[in-house]
Amino acid sequence: MIRYNKLIFELSTEDRVGYSLPNSKFSDYNINDLKTDYLRTEEPDLPEVSELEVLRHFTNISNKNFGVENGFYPLGSCTMKYNPKINEEIVNFNNFKRLHPLQPVSTTQGAFKVYYDLQKILAEISGFHEFSLNPYAGAHGELIGLMIIKKYHESRGDFHKNKIIIPDSAHGTNPASVVVCGMEVIEIESNKRGRVDIDSLKEAISGRDDIAGMMLTNPNTLGIFEENICEIAKLIHKAGGKMYNDGANLNALLGKVRPGDMGFDVMHINLHKTFSTPHGGGGPGSGPVGVTEELAKFLPNPQVKKMDDYYYVENNGDAIGQISAFYGNYLVSLRALVYLLTLGKENIKLIGRYATLNANYVRNALKSTYELPIQGNCMHETVFNGLINKENDIKTLDIAKRLLDYGMHAPTIYFPLLFPQAIMIEPTETESLQTLDEFIEIMHKIAIEAKENPDKLKDAPTKTPIRRTDEVFAAKQMIFSYKDYLEYIEKRDE
Ligand SMILES: *Cc1c(COP(=O)(O)O)cnc(C)c1O
């Protein structure tokens, strides 16, 4: 077993090769004909291993991974749900996969139909006028949405409007996007019920004429619906601002309400969270941005349009510019369209209901042992503040690590920042009652262990390939290459 913990460089044996190539037809080709500028002076430092060793190495690494296909993965705010395998097969059809973005538009009409139809469906689902599929991720969508708001104000000569209001429960990308966009954040506090505090909001905007807008997540990052959304939108609009909806996680609302009808002017949707792209480890993603009719001309270029039965691409002079290579992540868009069409108009409505039902089921089953800081029903996710019984100094981190020993992924922990021992659980709409019951039973078991056998939690995890990592060290001293690793080992052993 130890052998499989080695790096592939450590498995290297001098002169071993993992390939055999046929003799070159161009054997009389002289390497000196190549410009010397392009020739390397030293051999590359590559591991020398056989094909079988390579195969075993990477298969064993992949077995250490944990994903939704291994077990329950209730990571709140990230929607790690099951995505149908047939969608993967479809995006692997050569007719989709082998297209080139520079092909003449007349030869790629089918691909543009995919774009166009998805833009239209997203607009209908969310209540907006038009969508752009160009942004590559949620955070990218936020930036694009904010750039549109900024450009709108500038187009009216309102260059001083540069303040964006954000509640303290927001996802960290929200304030970051505001700063990247060259605007400033005004943070407002949540009330005791986890919602926007209307009085704080009124205070924050009163007497100001520099409010560019507000970014709001609804349901918010506590999994709670902002009941006062219409009043909030009215206040912001009255102050001359635009409402931005962080719609990264749209599953809770699907088929029930539309952000466009709540008074939002701009939103992004994370296709990779809500509409069937397996994600994690940084990609792939897509964060389409939707806007009202008033803002549509500012959407990024190129814009995919249709006239009669012909699809075409247009660059609009009012647009904020081009923000991606070509049209964003095409295959992520394709997965989303296939997913939506497979479900159909009727079944899409079930997503929100099941996501909400599952989260409330877990919430109610766990509230006898885990501290529920905010009462009432939740939507697609639920937040606890550690165990009710805080004896033996058991932290949320210990609970999360113990869950790994039971073969389940930990929920999101220490986010949102409103509660010191936050545990944020999103079961998602794709889990069965049996899986939820199993998770609930394990969470109760962990609560008992916390009381009677706390070392089991303090020592956890014991069954994973790596135990607890030193996160501070990992963040401060990043080791990205084998060379860095060797240097680190040498220094450590000195
Ligand atoms: C995931 C998430 C984002 C960021 O999306 P990325 O695709 O990771 O950039 C933003 N807001 C919320 C609420 C999220 O859950």
Whole-number Å distance between alpha carbons of 76 and 411:
6
What per-residue confidence (pLDDT) applies to 2?
44
Instruction: List, for the chain, all residue ranges whose pLDDT scores fall below the cut of 70.
Output: 1-4, 27, 29, 31-32
Q: Is 57 in the pocket of ligand 1 (CB under 6 A)?
A: no
Q: Which of 215, 218, 217, 214 is nearest to 237 (CA)?
A: 214
Report the nearest atom of ligand 1 relative to the CA of 270: 7
Whole-number Å distance between alpha carbons of 177 and 248:
14
Strand extents, DSSP E, 217-272: 242-247, 266-269
What per-residue confidence (pLDDT) applies to 43?
86
- Give me the residue label for tokens 């260059």: 159
Whole-number Å distance between alpha carbons of 77 and 251:
11
Q: Which of 14, 6, 17, 20 is nearest to 58 (CA)?
A: 6
Q: All domains of the chain, ordered by start, with CATH? A: 3-49 (no CATH), 87-342 (3.40.640.10)
- Give me the residue label for tokens 């460089």: 9
How far, CA to CA in Å, does 473 sit from each of 290, 355, 400, 469? 41, 37, 20, 9
Pocket test for ligand 1, best of 140, 174, 246 (most atoms within 8 A of CB): 246
Pocket test for ligand 1, best of 221, 270, 274, 379 (most atoms within 8 A of CB): 270
Which pLDDT tens digit goes with each residue over 114-163? 999 999 999 999 999 999 999 999 999 999 999 999 999 999 999 999 99
Report the nearest atom of ligand 1 relative to the CA of 217: 13
What per-residue confidence (pLDDT) applies to 4?
54
Q: Is 138 in the pocket of ligand 1 (CB under 6 A)?
A: yes
Quick check: helix, strand or coil at residue 452?
helix
How far, CA to CA in Å, does 242 sit from each of 128, 219, 230, 263? 14, 18, 13, 9
Distance between Cα 139 and ligand 1 center (Å): 6
Strand extents, DSSP E, 195-330: 211-216, 242-247, 266-269, 289-291, 303-307, 310-314
Distance between Cα 127 and ligand 1 center (Å): 20
Q: Is 171 in the pocket of ligand 1 (CB under 6 A)?
A: yes
Buried b (16+ CB within 10 A) or exposed e, 346-355: eebeebbebb
